[in-house]
Structure 1
Amino acid sequence: MESLVSTEWLAGELGADDLKVIDATIFLPGAGRDARTEFEAEHIPGAVFLDLDEIVDTSNPAPHMLPPAHKFASRMQSLGLGDGNRFVVYDNSPLHSSARAWWMLKAFGAHYVAVLDGGLQKWKAEGRPLESGKAHVRHGHFTAFLDKDAVADKAYVSGLVHSPAHEIVDARPAARFAGEDKEPRPGVQPGHIPGSRNLPQGELFNADNTWKRGDELRAAFYDAGVELDKPMVTTCGSGVTAAVLLFGAHLLGKNDVKLYDGSWSEWGADPSTPKATGPA
C-alpha cells in the first residue's frame, strides 16, 4: 500500500477485513468546531474517530506530546485497530491533521499506513457514501514500540539553532511565524526558532485539497528556502501541522526528518529559549 491513496482506491477497498479507516480531524483552539461531533454527523463508512487531543502525554504541559507506548496501544485497541491491519487516515480540517495520525502510527511501529488524498472534502465532493453515528468496534491487539529517532526534543533542537548543516522548518502561517499574530495558547510568546524556515503547511496542497506531487511539491520547499539535501526537523504550533511538512518530505523520498513534538507551544512558553521575529 502506498503512503498516499486516492478516494477511488479507498472506495474499492472499503469492507476489506484488514482495512481500518481512521478520521483524525482536529481543530485549533477557538475554531468553533468540534471534531467528534462532526464525525458523528458524517464520516466515511466504517471509520473510527481518533481523538488527537486525547491521545497525548497528560503529564507534559505542552499539548499533543506523544503518549507513552502503553497508552497509545490501549487507545488503538479500544478503536479496534490491531497488528497486521492496513490503516487509511483522513481528516476534514484545514490543519490536514491526518498527517499527524500517520506519523504517530508509523512512529509506534505500524507498517501499513496511508493518508487519503483530498480527505473527506474530496470524498464528499465526489458524492461517495457517508454514514453517521458512533463507530461500533471490537477490540484489537496493537503492539506499540516508539521509534525514538522519529522525534526531536527541545534539547536536540536547541543544538541545531543556526546550524548550517540542518534545516528547521516551521509549518505555521507566515504571520504567526513572524510574531505578528497572537499565539492561540496562553503563555506562549510570539515568534519562531532562530534560523528556521517558514513553509505554511497549506502550501503543499492543490485547490481540491489533494497533495502537490513531484516538481510542484519540491518547489514549495525550494521557494521557502529549504535545502532538501540537509537533515530536517519540522515544527509548528503543537506538533500537528509539523507532520504535514514531514509527510510532504516523505512523498519526495526524504526520510531523514524528525518532528519536534513540543514545537512552538513548548519553545515559546520557555523563557530560556532564544526567539526571533520577522520573516525567515
Structure 2
Amino acid sequence: MFIHKKAILFFLLSSFLLLSACSNNVTSGKNEKTDTSKTAQTTIETEELKANIENEEWVIIDTRSNDAFNGWALDGVERGGHIKGAVDFSASWLLVETDKKEEKLTEVLKNKGITADKKVVLYDANGKDAPAVSEYLKSEGFKNIYQYDVKEWAANKDLPLESYPNYEMLVPATWVNDLVANNNDGNPYKIFEVSWGEEAPDYKKGHIPGAVHINTDEVEEGPVWNRLKDKELEKFALNNGITVDTTVVLYGSDSMPAFRAAVILKYMGVKDVRVLNGGYASWQAAGYEVEKEVNSKESVASFGDVVPANPEYIIDLPEAKEILANSDTSTLVDIRSWDEYIGKISGYDYIEAKGRPAGAIWGHAGSDSSNLEDYRSIDNTMRNGSEIFAMWEKDGINPENKLSFYCGTGWRAAEVLFYADVLGLENISLYDGGWNEWSMDSSNPVEKGEPNKN
C-alpha cells in the first residue's frame, strides 16, 4: 500500500512539471483559444521592463482607469500618467454593458497592436486590474503574459511617465466625490448635470449630490443653435451662481451636452472648468451616493469679468472663412460621420443641405450625429491621445496648425475641442455655426463626395 501511494505522488509531480514546462512555451502567433491552466503568468522586474519598452516583440498595457492613464495619480502612485510607449486597455472595459461587446473588444486589441504573438506586460497599481485583463487575454489565446506594479516605476523619478498637459480638465469620479466630501476646501464650486429640456428626466432619476440641472437651451438657441449672445450668457452664469473663479464640474448621462456647456463657459472666461470623464456612468460604476432631490439654482450678483474673456475659443462664420483661406497654417476640421462629410446625408432632420464647407478636412466622429465613437473608449471615456493624433495624421490634420472644429450644430465638435485642449494643443477653437450655419447661405462654397487627395 505504501508503494502505491509513492507511485501516485510521483505521477502527480510529473504531471505538474509537464504542465509547468508547457506554460513557458511561446505561442505560434495564432489567436487560438487555449487552456488557461497552461498559460504563463508571472511578474516582471523594472529593469527588464525598461529594457524592452521599445522592443517590437513586446506590448506594454496600462490596465488602470482612463483617468490614471491620462495623468491622475490614483491608487497610491507617487506620480500620475502612463509608462512611455504603453497602450491602454482598462479592466473596466470588461465590465461595460454594450451591444456587440466581444466584437468591440477584439477590434480594440487589433487597433492597439495587442496580439498573441507578443510578450504582454500588464500593469496596474491595485493588484486587481492586471489580473482581470490577464484572464481575458488568456481566454483569447494569449500565453506570454507578465504583470507589473506601476507604483515601483512611479517611485523612481528617473523613469519616464507621460501625462497629458491639461489632464485635470477631465476628472475621475473619485475627484468629484472628494470635492463634495471636502466642500472643495472652502473654495466656490458648482456641479451641473447638463442635458436638453426643462423636464430633465435623467437628472430626476438620480444625480450627484448637490448637482443642479442645466438645460442646453440656457446657452444656445435656434434655428442655427449657436451660443447665446454674450449678455445673455452672462445672465445665464449669474442665474446659475457661476463666476470666473468658480470651479465648475459638468456631466450627463450623455457627455456631449456637458462638453458643449464646458466650451461655452471657457469662452466666457471661467478659469476652472471640468468634465466628468465617462459621464454619469462612471459615478454609478464607482458606487458613490446618488440623490433625487431637485436642487435649486443659486444666483450671484457679478460674473467677475467681461464676457467673453476668452473670445478666441469660439469663432463664427467670418473667422471660419479666414481659416479656409489660409490652409497652409490653419485647418477647419469636420467632426461628423463620413456620410455627412461626403454629402450622402445631412445628419439632421432639420437640416436639408448636404455636403461640407469647401476645403474642410474630415476629422472623424462616429456612426451618426448622436455618437462620437472615434474619440471615445468603449466606456465613453476619452480615447488614447496618441491614437487621436495618428487618426488625424492619416487624414492630413497637423496638430501644429491653427485648428477649428465644427460639426452640425456644435455638440460633437465641442467635445473634440475639449479633448484637444486636454492634450495640450494651442490655437484651437470651435466654429460654432458649423454646417447648419454654413449651408444657410448659398454663396458659401460647398463640396460633396470624397476629397481629392492630390
Asked whether the 8 Å contact 1:25–1:35 carries over to 2, the reply is: no
| Contact preservation (8 Å) 1:92, 1:119 | yes
Partner in structure 1 of residue 177 of structure 2: 11
Q: Percent identity?
A: 25
Instruction: Report the more deviating stretch, 138-147 or 106-115.
Output: 138-147
Instruction: List per-residue Cα deviations over 1:111-131 (Å, max 9, x = no partner).
Output: 111111111122122322222
Per-residue deviation, 1:107: 0.7
SS at match of 2:355: coil
Q: Distance in 1 between matches of 2:217 and 2:298?
A: 22
Matched, 1:145 2:297: no
Taking only aligned residues, the RMSD between alpha carbons, in angstroms, comes to 2.3
Aligned pairs, how many?
A: 270
Between 1:3-12 and 1:205-214, the stretch displaced more is: 205-214
In structure 2, how many angstroms separate the alpha carbons of the residues matched to 1:267 and 1:133?
42
Shift of 1:83: 4.1
List structure 1 segments (4+ residues) > 4 angstroms apart after TM superposition: none
Match of 1:115 among 262, 271, 275: 275
Matched-pair contact (CA < 8 Å) for 2:375–2:388: yes
Q: 1:82 to 1:153 in 2, by over 3 A?
A: closer
Distance 1:47-1:224 versus aligned 2 partners, 3 A rule: farther
Amino acid at match of 1:240: W
Which residue is 2:334 aligned to? 170
Aligned counterpart for 1:192 among listed residues 353, 356, 364? 356
Aligned match of 1:56 = 220
Q: Given that residues 335 and 407 in structure 2 are in contact (C-alpha distance below 8 angstroms), is that contact kept between their aligned partners in structure 1?
A: yes
Counterparts in 2 of 1:242 and 1:129: CA distance versus 1, 3 Å: same
2:317 is equivalent to residue 154 of structure 1: yes
Q: Deviations over 1:60-111 (max 9, x none)?
A: x411x12222211222222233342211111222x62222211111110111
- In the other structure, the counterpart of 1:255 is 426
Unmatched 5+ stretches in structure 2: 1-166, 366-371
Among 286, 306, 314, the alignment partner of 1:126 is: 286
- 1:265 equivalent in alignment to 2:426: no
Whether the 8 Å CA contact 2:248–2:274 is kept in 1: the answer is yes
Letter in 1 for 2:242: L
Name the one with the larger strand percent. 2
C-alpha distance 273-35 of structure 1, shift in aligned 2 (>3 A): farther
Q: Match for 2:239: what amino acid?
A: S
Identify, as 1 or 2, the structure richer in helix: 2
Instruction: After TM superposition, give the deviation of residue 38 of structure 1 in Å.
Output: 1.8
How many Å apart are 1:253 and its aligned residue? Answer: 0.9
Range 37-46 or range 137-146, more displaced: 137-146
